[in-house]
């Protein structure tokens, strides 16, 4: 082979090798979530979560719970199962909700599990590990998974009432003492970072309820979105949460 042709062959080989190496490297960096496909066939939406998922805080959970509203935005061919229950933590969900969800092979799954873990003192690494298990198992079952992060909690009426030196309107079951706002916000930030990492690793998509809650605070509507129990979203709050989920699902093409 002449020198000219040899140098061309070497250049081509190097280019091919570089392409192979680059593609291998990009695969190990992240596992981007594949764009969920619209419901091309009858689908199933499963909600995994806790009390706010089953509509606590609303007047008519069967009509006003945010997953029910999200279900209402989906194509008519979709059916819906709400596996949430009161007080559920990520560990509870792994034990009771995820096994059922796996048998259903849902098309879409939403996960909102954080506040009860926070209340029960689960540290961020453990929370992340549990959450990642949930998200990976749901993804393995075939679902496009949307996971909510933790909204801002420092302005919740129940937190404010129970944080007073002599709390008078603090119901039983609230941890005592409550962390000060700065600590609480740092814990929420740690949880949200953990949520982001778990989502990235499993191919789930984060629904930023934290940003939505701050937006509500900025536009002055925050207090009108919380129910009389000072903790759960009311019907208007559930609608705001559902709208946030709908926007993300729509942006990722899951609603067609």
Partner 1 sequence: MSWTDAFALVLTELRRRAARSALTVAAVALAATLLTSLVTIATTAQNRVLSEVSTGGPLAGIKVAAAAPDPSQVDRDDARPGAPKPLDEAALARIRGVKDVKAVYPVVAVPVVVVGPLHVGPGPVPAGDESVAGGPGDGPVDLYGDSLVGLPLTQVARLPVTLLAGRLPTAGSLTEVVVTPGYLDRFHLSAKQAPLVVGTRVEIGFPRGFATGAARARWVRPTVVGVAAQDAGPGQFLGSVELAAVGRDWTLAGGARGAPRFGLQDTTYTGLFVIADRLDRVTAVRTRITTIGYSTSAPENLIASVKRYLRVVDIVLAAVSAIALVVAALGIANALYAAVRERRREIGVLKAIGARDRDVLRIFVLEALLIGAVGGVIGAVAGTAVAGTVGWAVNRYLHSQGIAGIRLALSVGVLAGAIAGSTLLAVVAGVAPARQAARLPAREAVAE
Site for partner 1 (CB under 8 A): which residue of 6, 96, 105, 224? 96
Would you say how long the chain is, in residues? 256
Q: Which ranges in the chain belong to alpha helices (H)?
A: 3-29, 61-64, 66-72, 90-92, 98-104, 115-119, 124-140, 157-162, 181-202, 209-218, 235-251
CB contact at 8 A, 118 and 187? yes
Q: Which is nearer to partner 1, 97 or 195 (CB)?
A: 97
Stretch that binds partner 1, among 95-103, 148-156, 163-171, 176-184 (CB under 8 A): 95-103
Choose between 149 and 242: whose C-beta lies nearer to partner 1.
242
Out of 235, 248, 249, 254, the only residue in the binding site for partner 1 (CB under 8 A) is 235
Count of residues that bind partner 1 according to CB under 8 A: 24
Candidates 37, 38, 79, 215; binder of partner 1 (CB under 8 A) is 79
DSSP 3-state of 38: coil
* Least Å from the CB of residue 222 to partner 1: 19
CA distance 248 to 254: 9
CA distance linking residue 152 with residue 149, whole number of Å:
10
90 binds partner 1 (CB under 8 A): no
Rg (CA), the chain: 22
**Which of 100, 140, 169, 251 is close enough to bind partner 1 by CB under 8 A?**
100
Q: Which of 34, 40, 72, 140 binds partner 1 (CB under 8 A)?
A: 72
- Cα–Cα distance list, 202 to 27, 49, 102, 138, 197 (Å): 13, 18, 15, 9, 9
- Distance CA(114)–CA(135), nearest Å, equals 13
77 lies in the binding site for partner 1 (CB under 8 A):
yes
The sign of the dihedral angle between the CA atoms of 6, 7, 9, 14 is: positive
- Contact between 40 and partner 1 by CB under 8 A: the answer reads no
Positions 102 through 141 that interact with partner 1 (CB under 8 A): 103
Give yes or no for residue 63 binding partner 1 (CB under 8 A). yes
- Residues forming the site for partner 1 (CB under 8 A): 42, 44, 59-60, 62-64, 68-69, 71-72, 76-77, 79-83, 85, 96, 100, 103, 235, 239
């Amino acid at each position: 082979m002449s020198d000219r042709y040899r140098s061309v062959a070497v250049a081509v080989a190097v280019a091919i090798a570089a392409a192979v190496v680059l593609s291998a490297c990009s695969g190990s960096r992240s596992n981007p979530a594949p764009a969920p496909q619209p419901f091309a066939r009858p689908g199933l939406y499963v909600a995994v979560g806790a009390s706010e998922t089953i509509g606590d805080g609303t007047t008519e959970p069967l009509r006003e719970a945010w997953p029910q509203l999200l279900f209402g935005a989906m194509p008519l061919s979709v059916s819906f199962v709400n596996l949430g229950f009161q007080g559920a933590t990520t560990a509870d969900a792994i034990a009771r909700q995820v096994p059922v969800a796996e048998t259903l092979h849902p098309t879409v799954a939403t996960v909102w599990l954080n506040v009860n873990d926070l209340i029960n003192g689960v540290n961020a690494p453990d929370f992340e590990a549990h959450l990642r298990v949930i998200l990976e198992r749901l993804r393995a079952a075939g679902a496009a998974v949307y996971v909510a992060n933790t909204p801002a909690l420092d302005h919740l009426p129940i937190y404010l009432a129970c944080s007073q030196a002599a709390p008078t309107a603090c119901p039983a079951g609230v941890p005592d003492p409550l962390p000060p706002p700065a600590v609480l916000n740092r814990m929420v930030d740690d949880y949200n970072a953990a949520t982001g990492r778990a989502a990235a690793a499993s191919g789930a998509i984060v629904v930023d309820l934290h940003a939505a809650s701050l937006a509500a605070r900025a536009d002055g509507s925050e207090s009108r979105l919380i129910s009389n129990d000072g903790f759960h979203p009311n019907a208007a709050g559930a609608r705001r949460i559902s709208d946030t989920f709908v926007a993300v699902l729509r942006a990722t093409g899951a609603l067609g």
